[in-house]
Structure 1
Amino acid sequence: MATAAPARKTRAAHLGPDRRRPQVLDAALRIAVDEGFAAVSIASLASSMRVTRPVVYSCFPDRGTILGALLEREAELLLTSTLDALHSATGDDPEQVFVDGYRALLTTVAQRPDSWRLVFDADADPETTRRVAEARAVIFDASTRWIAPALEKWWGTADLERKLPALIELFVSSCEAAVRVMLDPGNDLDADDLAPLYGRMMSAAHRVA
């Protein structure tokens, strides 16, 4: 009696480099957040993705290119979400406008915490520092264009032009502080808890200015 031939193993569907690149960057993000940038390597990525090193090399030529692409992707996502949060804060009630802005920002943190941790919690990296500084400058400029007319409209802030740099720095720093609180493992406050807290504080600070 003839024995049946052993069943062939089904090979995983082949993914070309274009479809595989986002997966490589997702794996790099997880490793960078969990273990630091130094732990990101072709070998660690291949192991994490359960593929061979040539598969990773087919997507990116080297480790440096991977890290550069990761930082570019995450910085763009965070900048876009921050500007969207800023632009969503509109209305005639100053306190509510600030609260709505913080809620929109912190909701994006809850949706993509690892992306924000890459910026705030990952080990220091010169390229990260440079990209964060560039994004901060864009946010600073956008905040100025939003807050300056609002302060004039709501409170007629005296000597506004001279005070504005300090007020914008206060606002941007408070946004960064709120994000850090959201990312703190010991924190049990969510976006709906923190938004009124920061919104009321910043509304009051800008009002008394």
Structure 2
Amino acid sequence: MSTTRRKYAPRLPAGQRRDQVLDGALALIAEGGFDALTMEAVARRCGVTKPVVYEIFANRAEVIAALLEREAARATAQVLEAIPEGLDERSPEDLYTDTVRAFVHAVVESPDRWRLVLLPPEGTPVEFRQQVERVRAQVTEQVNALADLGLKAMGGPDLDAELLGHAMLALAEMAGRLVITDPDRFPPDRLVAFVGRIAHSLPRS
């Protein structure tokens, strides 16, 4: 008769266990979309039993709600940290390039989070998409303001600052998507170098 005892996951403080469960849920969504997220799958991913997961979240809906709230807050903090509040001693071209560099590296550090933001899978709740759009609108305002300051500092060219800001944001988002979907073909250095060349191609007066 076997006397082997089942190994149990070590007890963690509630906050750490909660983050562990949410990390597991995020990884499942990144790999298989929201359909892959079940309480059993989360438990298996975290190496714990289902009762451990149920001690923290009553059901799948609670896991998803908590996960999306956490990831929206963390993504917002990362992107706002990457955007400078105004011009500094760097040229406008270098400032924008450095901003995109910081953003791309944030994406590389947290690819599952940014896949959810930049490439939301089927089944992503409407509330999360709306939250992303609200943050994007806030970021767009800041980027547009920087574009306006940059054009003035450069003494031209005669470009629409608002449209330039939208183009700058779209280029950064494109870089983020490419480094997620094909990081070997589009590594950060290649993406940032391209952005820098685009920025420095704008004529000065």
> Shorter-chain TM-score: what band?
0.7 to 0.9
Shift of the 10–72 alpha-carbon distance from structure 1 to 2, 3 Å rule, reads: closer
Alignment of 1:107-118 (within 5 A): 107-118=105-116
Q: Supply the distance in 2 between the matched residues of 1:108 and 1:55 (Cα, whole angstroms).
A: 31
List runs of 5+ in structure 2 lacking aligned partners: none
Q: Is the 8 A contact 2:147 2:162 kept in 1?
A: no
**Corresponding pairs, count:** 199
Shift of 1:157: 5.3
Q: Is the 8 A contact 1:27 1:48 kept in 2?
A: yes
Query: What's the TM-score once normalised by structure 1's chain length?
Result: 0.82
Shift of the 11–112 alpha-carbon distance from structure 1 to 2, 3 Å rule, reads: closer
Shift of 1:176: 0.8
Q: Is the 8 A contact 1:151 1:157 kept in 2?
A: yes
Shift of 1:121: 3.1
Q: Supply the distance in 2 between the matched residues of 1:10 and 1:40 (Cα, whole angstroms).
A: 24
**Cα-to-partner distance string for 1:78-134 (whole Å, 9 max, x where unaligned):** 222222222187434232222212211111112111111122334132233212212
What percent identity do the matched residue pairs reach?
30
Provide the aligned C-alpha RMSD in A.
2.6
What is aligned with 2:37?
Answer: 40
Alignment of 1:1-209 (within 5 A): 12-87=9-84, 90-124=88-122, 125=124, 126-156=126-156, 158=158, 163-185=160-182, 187-204=184-201, 207=203
Q: Is the 8 A contact 2:38 2:60 kept in 1?
A: yes
Q: Supply the distance in 2 between the matched residues of 1:7 and 1:181 (Cα, whole angstroms).
A: 48
What is aligned with 1:3?
Answer: none
The aligned amino acid for 1:72 is E
Shift of the 96–58 alpha-carbon distance from structure 1 to 2, 3 Å rule, reads: same
Q: Supply the distance in 1 between the matched residues of 2:92 and 2:145 (Cα, whole angstroms).
A: 16
Shift of the 84–90 alpha-carbon distance from structure 1 to 2, 3 Å rule, reads: farther
Shift of 1:74: 1.6
Query: What's the TM-score once normalised by structure 2's chain length?
Result: 0.83
Shift of 1:172: 1.1
Q: Whose helix fraction is larger, Structure 1's or Structure 2's?
A: 1
Shift of 1:59: 1.0
Query: 3-state DSSP class of the match of 1:51?
Result: coil
**Cα-to-partner distance string for 1:148-167 (whole Å, 9 max, x where unaligned):** 22221222455x7xx33322
Shift of 1:45: 0.8
Shift of 1:8: 7.1
Shift of the 186–26 alpha-carbon distance from structure 1 to 2, 3 Å rule, reads: closer
Q: Is the 8 A contact 1:33 1:121 kept in 2?
A: no
List runs of 5+ in structure 1 lacking aligned partners: 1-5
Shift of the 172–20 alpha-carbon distance from structure 1 to 2, 3 Å rule, reads: same
Deviating runs (4+, > 4 A) in structure 1? 6-12
Which of these two proteins has the greater Rg computed from alpha carbons?
1
